[in-house]
């Protein structure tokens, strides 16, 4: 579930909300400012755009809550070096070299070469290292080895990380293959089958050991007969020492101690202003975990953290997600500091309170309905600071903790990052609406209701969708029965619940939406995205692989095909451009209902063959002609497939030693922020 929502999150903003206009500079002005003149999009390069987000209602917090946010933000940033080092052993050396050059190179900074270097620098900062943050492939510098040598030779010696290296020439010799040899450490994470995934991944979680050795090592850690075990391996690097496989733990006194001590320092400050005993208890456990490195303590922390539902301010801080490790043991350092968005959370609560009504009125087979359904608890938060793996590229939702037995025994927290999503929305513009949608009414509706439609789809998907339906007695978990098709079908099921209800008058009655036009808007964007827009994330010749992309195509294509006789969704070609126009929204809703009923049946009965059939027939294959057309139309729009964020600056106002207030500012320059972080939060040695 966690993985699904994270994927969903990272995709949603991009697919539904990022629509850039034709002439970047001009159009950004028009498109990226809100009524107050706040600029959301500040830069565009390579496959990226740089956004900012607001922290609304920060001033509504009490002084103690503001201090708490400030201390936790400093803790978040203090671990920044860790994610660089985790991603790749030489990332810190590369980053410090880049920073040194950027600050001290006296040559022409307007030349094409220097511009290429600057773009590379920004890409490294966005990815927390030299591998692409999404594809995991090594970034192509875009300038020559010779120019790289020139940059270093002309830069100020004191600005460069020469401590353990020697001189400039040694630095050049060391970094040239690291940056320029495409074969050397080419992928950060390599999950291909039939290879040693540890050896072939460039990340810094393992050194000198094979996949088999690591798997044996952790197999032997497991305590026989005990169900509730820690996530072994989450907080350490595995190395070979004196011929033996060993763990080096990330903790105070262990590796990363220089950064972890700072994190602990700020967490201890945070403890002094905790909002209540439960929050204090959780933070104390987190500090204890960082000091001891004991994973059982981390479990204790997670339990206390889940129990803390009353606090306004909340934080994720630790070694959390394991996607960066091909075999899923090692947790990447991340932190997200936030506080509750009370207004938006109310909408979620309303849906959750009516979960049984949605279940009873669902088009699924009666025998597949739950008698007692409780909506998944889902909250909207306002982000104040992100660090480590959660920045500059951010999730738009988080579902933690990751330990399954803790989730079962104590529950989990599932949140949507409201102000981040809002920023994605603001960053979008008329560009792709004009390009891919037909009809003035459709475009006006998207403009008026697009944002709410997206939010409500997510809420329905999470709160009602995943919670609905039940398995037939004796049927194994979807993971067991539907195997590799389980996630695609589950995400499709949750989407279909959302789509089915988003056109329902009930939502208007509940006060969640002003009109069912919100639902029509969601239908327009969902169908066009599923049949066309998302194809831009694929290269020509590729099939759809990613679970969420598969489910969206499955849903859209199935409905297109099944509705063909009645012309429910019409394919129109105007001036050589393809559009999918919905002629009958009510009929489309019926089709969504039919497919939902079928996918629920497949899940309830564990019908692998039928599930496979659906996914393979509708979710995987790409029409090469249409794909080519989409890529061409997008290339003219200059839309950035990925976004990264500038963090707000959160700082105390002091009278003497006493903090009398905490303020938020919104820096505009990504480069300046990266250089500032590089100076202020640079604690680790070059190699760890």
Positions in the binding site for Zn ion (CB under 5 A): 4, 491, 494
Q: Which is nearer to Zn ion, 489 or 494 (CB)?
A: 494
- Give the strand order in the sheet containing 642-646: 41-45, 48-52, 642-646
Least distance to Zn ion, CB of residue 584, Å:
27
Torsion of CA 433, 435, 438, 442, to 10 degrees: 0
Two tokens, residue 112? 């094409």
SS3 assignment, position 314:
strand
Q: How far is 48 from 5, CA to CA, in rounded Å?
A: 22
Q: Which is nearer to Zn ion, 283 or 494 (CB)?
A: 494
Least distance to Zn ion, CB of residue 363, Å:
19
Q: Which is nearer to Zn ion, 460 or 559 (CB)?
A: 460
DSSP H or E stretch at residue 660: strand 658-665
Q: Which is nearer to Zn ion, 4 or 553 (CB)?
A: 4
DSSP-assigned letters across all residues of 343-379: HHHHHHHHHHHTHHHHHHT-SS-GGGS-SS--PPP-E
Least distance to Zn ion, CB of residue 4, Å:
4
Q: Which is nearer to Zn ion, 494 or 554 (CB)?
A: 494
Q: How far is 450 from 466, CA to CA, in rounded Å?
A: 23
Q: Which is nearer to Zn ion, 4 or 128 (CB)?
A: 4
SS3 assignment, position 140:
coil
Least distance to Zn ion, CB of residue 613, Å:
22
Least distance to Zn ion, CB of residue 251, Å:
34
Residues with Cβ within 8 Å of residue 497, at least 6 apart in sequence: 358, 362, 460, 461, 464, 465, 468, 596
Q: Which is nearer to Zn ion, 341 or 491 (CB)?
A: 491
Q: Which is nearer to Zn ion, 84 or 485 (CB)?
A: 485
Angle at 86 between CA 125 and CA 242, to 5 degrees: 150
Least distance to Zn ion, CB of residue 490, Å:
7
Q: Which is nearer to Zn ion, 43 or 491 (CB)?
A: 491
Q: How far is 503 from 339, CA to CA, in rounded Å?
A: 31
Two tokens, residue 382? 């306002």
- CB 645 within 8 Å of CB 43: no
Q: Which is nearer to Zn ion, 101 or 467 (CB)?
A: 467
Two tokens, residue 398? 């988080």
| Burial grade of 317 (CB within 10 A; 0-12, 13-18, 19 or more) | buried
- CB 516 within 8 Å of CB 2: no
What is the DSSP code (8-state) at residue 513?
A: -
Q: At what angle do helices 80-87 and 257-272 cross, to 10 degrees?
A: 150
Least distance to Zn ion, CB of residue 1, Å:
7
Q: Which is nearer to Zn ion, 129 or 454 (CB)?
A: 454
Q: Which is nearer to Zn ion, 5 or 86 (CB)?
A: 5
Q: Which is nearer to Zn ion, 4 or 87 (CB)?
A: 4
Measure Cα distances from 616 to 95, 192, 538 in Å: 43, 21, 17
SS3 assignment, position 408:
helix
- CB 661 within 8 Å of CB 63: yes
Residue carrying structure tokens 């969903």: 8
Least distance to Zn ion, CB of residue 7, Å:
9
Least distance to Zn ion, CB of residue 547, Å:
9
What is the DSSP code (8-state) at residue 686?
A: S
Least distance to Zn ion, CB of residue 546, Å:
13
- Characterize the bridge pairing of strands 236-241 and 206-207: parallel
Least distance to Zn ion, CB of residue 552, Å:
12
Residue carrying structure tokens 């827009």: 533
Two tokens, residue 525? 């964007």
Least distance to Zn ion, CB of residue 502, Å:
15
Q: How far is 188 from 87, CA to CA, in rounded Å?
A: 7
CB atoms within 10 A of CB 98: 25
Q: Which of 281, 315, 275 is nearest to 297 (CA)?
A: 281
Q: Which is nearer to Zn ion, 4 or 525 (CB)?
A: 4
Q: What is the 3-state secondary structure (H, E, C) of 239-291?
A: EEECCEEEEEEECCCCECHHHHHHHHHHHHHHHHCCCCHHHHHHHHHHHHHHH
- CB 314 within 8 Å of CB 283: no
Q: Which is nearer to Zn ion, 9 or 93 (CB)?
A: 9
Least distance to Zn ion, CB of residue 302, Å:
22
Least distance to Zn ion, CB of residue 335, Å:
24
Least distance to Zn ion, CB of residue 550, Å:
13
Secondary structure percentages of the chain, helix, strand, coil, to 5: 50, 15, 35
Least distance to Zn ion, CB of residue 280, Å:
33
- CB 275 within 8 Å of CB 65: yes
Q: How far is 446 from 30, CA to CA, in rounded Å?
A: 17
Q: Which is nearer to Zn ion, 383 or 464 (CB)?
A: 464
DSSP H or E stretch at residue 417: strand 413-417
Name the closest residue to Zn ion (Cβ): 4
Q: Which is nearer to Zn ion, 378 or 670 (CB)?
A: 378
Least distance to Zn ion, CB of residue 461, Å:
6
């Amino acid at each position: 579930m966690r993985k699904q929502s994270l994927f969903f999150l990272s995709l949603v903003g991009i697919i539904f909300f990022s629509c850039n206009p034709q002439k970047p500079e001009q159009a950004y002005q028009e498109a990226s400012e809100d009524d107050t003149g706040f600029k959301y999009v500040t830069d565009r390069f390579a496959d990226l755009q740089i956004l900012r987000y607001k922290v609304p209602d920060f001033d509504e917090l009490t002084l103690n809550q503001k201090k708490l946010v400030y201390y936790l933000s400093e803790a978040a940033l203090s671990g920044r070096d860790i994610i660089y080092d985790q991603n790749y052993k030489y990332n810190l050396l590369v980053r410090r070299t880049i920073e040194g050059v950027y600050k001290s190179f006296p040559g022409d900074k307007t030349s094409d070469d220097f511009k290429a270097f600057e773009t590379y620098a920004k890409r490294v900062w966005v990815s927390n290292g030299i591998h692409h943050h999404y594809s995991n492939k090594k970034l192509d510098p875009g300038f020559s080895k010779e120019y790289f040598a020139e940059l270093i030779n002309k830069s100020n010696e004191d600005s460069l990380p020469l401590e353990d290296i020697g001189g400039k020439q040694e630095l050049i010799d060391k970094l040239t293959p690291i940056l320029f040899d495409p074969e050397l450490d080419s992928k950060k994470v390599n999950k291909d089958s039939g290879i040693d995934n540890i050896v072939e991944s460039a990340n810094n979680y393992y050194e000198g050991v094979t996949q088999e050795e690591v798997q044996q090592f952790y197999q032997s850690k497991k305590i026989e007969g005990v169900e509730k075990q820690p996530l072994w391996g989450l907080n350490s690097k595995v190395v070979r020492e004196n011929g033996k496989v060993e763990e080096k733990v990330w903790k105070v006194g262990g590796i990363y101690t220089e950064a972890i001590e700072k994190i602990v320092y700020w967490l201890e400050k945070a403890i002094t202003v905790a909002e209540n005993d439960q929050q204090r208890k959780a933070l104390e456990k987190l500090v204890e975990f960082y000091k001891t490195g004991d994973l059982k303590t981390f479990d204790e922390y997670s339990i206390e953290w889940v129990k803390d539902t009353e606090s306004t301010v909340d934080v994720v801080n630790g070694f959390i997600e394991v996607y960066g490790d091909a075999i899923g043991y090692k947790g990447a350092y991340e932190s997200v500091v936030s506080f509750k968005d009370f207004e938006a959370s109310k909408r979620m609560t309303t849906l959750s309170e009516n979960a049984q009504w949605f279940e009873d009125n669902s088009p699924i087979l009666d025998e597949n309905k739950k008698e007692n359904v409780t909506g998944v608890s889902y909250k909207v938060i306002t982000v104040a600071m992100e660090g480590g793996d959660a920045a500059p590229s951010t999730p738009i939702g988080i579902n933690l903790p990751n330990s399954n037995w803790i989730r079962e025994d104590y529950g989990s927290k599932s949140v949507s990052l409201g102000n981040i999503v809002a920023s994605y929305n603001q960053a979008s513009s008329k560009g792709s609406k004009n390009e891919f949608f037909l009809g003035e009414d459709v475009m006006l509706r998207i403009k008026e209701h697009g944002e709410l439609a997206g939010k409500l789809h997510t809420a329905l998907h999470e709160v009602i969708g995943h919670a609905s339906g039940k398995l037939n007695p004796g049927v194994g978990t979807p993971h067991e029965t539907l195997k590799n098709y389980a996630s695609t079908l589950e995400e499709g099921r949750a989407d279909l619940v959302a789509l089915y209800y988003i056109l329902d008058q009930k939502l208007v009655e509940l006060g969640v939406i002003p009109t069912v036009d919100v639902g029509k808007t969601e239908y327009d964007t969902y169908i066009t995205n599923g049949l066309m827009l998302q194809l831009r994330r694929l290269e020509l010749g590729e099939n759809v692989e990613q679970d969420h992309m598969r489910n969206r195509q499955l849903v859209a294509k199935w409905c297109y095909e099944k509705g063909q006789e009645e012309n429910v969704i019409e394919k129109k070609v105007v001036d050589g451009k393809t559009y999918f126009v919905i002629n009958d929204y009510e009929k489309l809703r019926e089709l969504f209902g039919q497919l939902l009923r079928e996918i629920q049946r497949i899940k309830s009965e564990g019908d692998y063959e039928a599930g496979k059939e659906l996914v393979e027939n509708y979710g995987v294959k790409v029409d090469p002609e249409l794909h080519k057309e989409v890529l061409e139309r997008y290339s003219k729009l200059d839309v950035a497939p990925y976004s990264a964020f500038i963090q707000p600056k959160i700082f105390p106002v002091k009278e003497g030693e006493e903090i009398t207030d905490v303020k938020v500012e919104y820096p505009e320059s990504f480069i300046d922020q990266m250089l500032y972080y590089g100076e202020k939060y640079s604690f680790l040695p070059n190699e760890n």
